[in-house]
Amino acid sequence: MQTHEIRDRFTQHFVDAGHTAVPSASLILDDPTLLFVNAGMVPFKPYFLGQQNPPFENRTATSIQKCVRTLDIDEVGITTRHNTFFQMAGNFSFGGYFKEGAIRNAWSLLTKPVAEGGFGLDPERLWVTVYLDDDEAADIWENIVGVPAERIQRMGMEDNYWSMGVPGPCGPCSEIYYDRGPDYGAEGGPEADEHRYMEIWNLVFMQYERGPSDENGNFEILGELPQKNIDTGLGIERVACLLQGVDNVYETDLLRPVINVAEELTGATYNENHDNDVRFRVIADHTRTAMMLILDGVTPSNEGRGYILRRLMRRVIRSARLLGAESKTLESFLATVMDTMSPSFPEIEDNRDRILRVAATEEKAFLRTLESGTELFDRTAASIKEAGKTTVGGHQAFELHDTYGFPIDLTLEMAAEAGLEVDMDGFNAEMTAQRERAKADNKAKKHGHADESVYRQWVDDNPTEFLGYEQLTADATVLGLVRGGQSVTTAKAGDEIEVILDVTPLYAESGGQLADRGRLVAGDTVIEVKDVQKIAKRVFVHKATVVSGGVELGMSVKAEVDETWRHGARQAHTATHLIHGALRQVLGPTAVQAGSLNRPGYLRFDFNYTEQLSDEQLEEIALIANQVVDADYPVNTVETTLDEAKAMGALALFGENYGDNVRVVEVAGPFSTELCGGTHVASSAQIGPVAVLGESSVGSGARRIEAYSGMDAFRYYSREAALVSGVASTLKAKSDDLPARISQLTERLKAAEKEIAALHQQQLMSNTAALVDEAETLGDVTVLIRQLPDGVTGGDLRTVGSDLRGKLAGRPAVVVLASRNDAKLPFVVAATAEAVDMGVKAGDLVKTFGEYVDGRGGGKPDMAQGSGATPEGAEAGFRAVKDALGGL
């Protein structure tokens, strides 16, 4: 039974029992406590916690939820039952049925004959566990369902009691296990051997309320819940193992094809040695998880969800290299996973190109990292062993991480493979030191690791006077020159130099506003200023290039701000205040600034908020900001004490350290009053239009709005207007009618695609009757071998093969089909029950055929499939299959 059919049967069983079918939620929910959805009940938490009333008829629901768990990522492949991505089928009751209903529903689906929509498992091989004192559940299992007492085992809190880990709902569990037989381990039920006895279903009886945990993890039961709930979870992958007759989750129809492709691309063979088997499983598991994460919008990065994705993808790439791959593999693995998963997740096809693009970019980058980092690690490991040591030093591991971009988890893996340990205390100390350097570098950005003591003389004796609020030019004296981290007295044309002046009109980067651009001029000397940074909040360091002439200490120069740059920066920074004020009006006072960046014409504004903003909220924020622009309010600045500023209601932002004297910027009175040292326009109308581009998540509980201001906003609106006009012209519709018109066209396109797919299927199936007439007899076996027209996919071949097998039922018959599909040749072998009884094994025939087309495949005795890389060998493969059948 294919996995997608297992899903369908589960859902239908509970829909027939009165449950509402709920689609899987995204792996990424707006829940600050979770990196990914890790259990089927997560999307239903508001109903279990009583925060919302369930909107489902009969107060019951069923779903098959996408889940990802990565805490024990290093165990993947070592055990044969662990996946980072899995599908959790669940049924839920919110105050409806309780223990007896949940137990009956589960038992019925598991044991009901396949012909009646069940899974057809042998009830004699099912065992159950209950919580130690849950006599009620034990009684239902024994006296109502009929499970013998000797197959009901009681287990403790660690195994059979559930809570969220915090005060709230809790309750006992009952788990269902399948006995896989003596080949898998010792007798005695789940308490004796959970490898032989595979857990397939967990029933949670949510009936109590618990208090907080003590230091030992114990908690008090406060009483019964006013509403008793049911939360159950059946592992789709584990049931697929049982119903497909395979040993583990890596050999089911969803993952084994990936291993087959990995064998083709690496030249290694699965099931030959343990280390390689682990690598094959890592490839299969992590590829699928990575694909599902990219599908739901995660992109590789160095933090949070993106880091998890990057780590998974890099483990796939490295495992393939260790198996023998010499070229790129990730795209092939992902394409295979998308083929196997698409029947259950049709949205994959719409995102196929995007997913493959992400994979290609990541693999290209990591292969470069892997080459340089692996070479360094090998040299390091060899030198450590030569010295008779067993530990990779913390500084060595940090160098791999910091210089070569080598993740520490990869270093740990490679060290373990080399029989070495890693000094993690030393590594963590290096990381801490780096964070401290980064903190300092934030204050004096772009000074690298220069010794800041070089600036000490100016910090102590000659702090820079900033004149830029009132003027854009100033006569200044060169007090200091720094080149390459060293104080110098002169610099010539072409030198990169840092200049310290007694006064300056150029703004130094701070408060999210980028530094001014400008120049220093004195006669023939022209120095282009590209950046200005503050040291100790007192000295302005002008990072510059000497374009012509020369400069020396004591020289008088005219410092000039690039007026165009400053004007755009002032517009963007003042627009940031407007966005903040509008946000607080729309979302309330809890939406406070968490960071910002302002450059001419553009701003991004980070704020603390846990929910995605709606289109309506974004429109309202943009409207309010532009209303303030239109009203042309004066932008007032006041210099005062910190206490007086707070008394005025001025906002102090995201942990800034303010001195005793501060600058308050006020726009439209109470609408926006903030502490801010940036440069601003004189009145709100000078900002020009503000165009809100959108908002996104930038971490747990934080979101980001991006916008244009001034001419950049005008140009943005002009481009949008031109785009809308062009689309309206093409569709011959008014601009206001475009949403409805595009929606209508989209629906028509979807309908046409469905119709084309249906016609394609009908065309294939319409020819099966004629094909049956062409079957030939080899001894006692009827054989139908055909290469179908080009372009028939492996899935369609399977459908046609199954249909032909049905038409040939009642006699020993074998169907062998293939079709050229681009440079590949998918092929299928299907055998009737009578042929199987004679000794035919479709899986063996698939391997025989595969030898002639450079392909591999597998399956069950009655149905198997594969794919080859040399379509030209098909005729020889067909003859080989005939020869094999002729010997029966």
Tokens of 770: 């004629």
Which residue carries 């859902």 as its tokens?
11
Query: What one-letter code names the amino acid at 332?
Result: S
What is the arrangement of strands in the sheet containing 702-709, beginning at the earlier edge strand?
593-599, 602-608, 702-709, 690-699
Rounded CA gap, 677 and 639, in Å? Answer: 10
Write the CA distances from 158 to 132, 218, 501, integer angstroms: 11, 11, 68
Residue 525 near residue 499, CB atoms below 8 Å:
no
Residues in the chain: 888
Token digits for 7? 């899903």
CA separation for the pair 11, 26 (Å, rounded): 18
DSSP run (H or E) holding 324:
none
Q: Which of 102, 188, 116 is nearest to 145 (CA)?
A: 102
577 annotated binding-site participant: yes
Helical residues (DSSP H) of 245-273, grouped into ranges: 256-266
> Distance between CA 797 and CA 867 in Å, rounded?
11
Q: Exposed, middle or buried: residue 55 (CB in 10 Å: 0-12, 13-18, 19+)?
A: exposed
**AA letter at 330:** L
CA angle 370, 371, 377 (to 5 degrees): 80
Helices (H), 489-609: 563-587
Phi, psi of 643, deg, nearest 5: -65, -45
Residue 859: left (phi > 0), alpha (psi -120 to 50), or beta?
Answer: left
8 Å CB contact between 509 and 515: yes
Measure the CA–CA gap between 480 and 456, rounded to whole angstroms. Answer: 11
Alpha helices in 700-827 (DSSP H): 710-731, 738-766, 768-773, 794-807
- Are 413 and 373 in contact by the 8 Å Cβ rule? The answer is no
Q: Residue 533 in contact with residue 509, Cβ under 8 Å?
A: yes
| CA pseudo-torsion sign 509, 513, 516, 517 | positive
- Please check whether residue 747 is in contact with residue 732, taking contact to mean a CB–CB distance below 8 angstroms: no
| 680 annotated binding-site participant | yes
**676 is an annotated ligand-binding site residue:** yes
User: CA of 577: how far to CAs of 570, 667, 675, 687, 693, in Å?
Assistant: 11, 8, 10, 11, 16
* Phi and psi at residue 878, to the nearest 5°: -60, -40
Contact criterion met (CB below 8 Å) for 400 and 431? no
- Is 447 annotated in some ligand binding site? no
- Annotated binding-site members: 573, 577, 676, 680
- Annotated binding-site members for Zn(2+): 573, 577, 676, 680
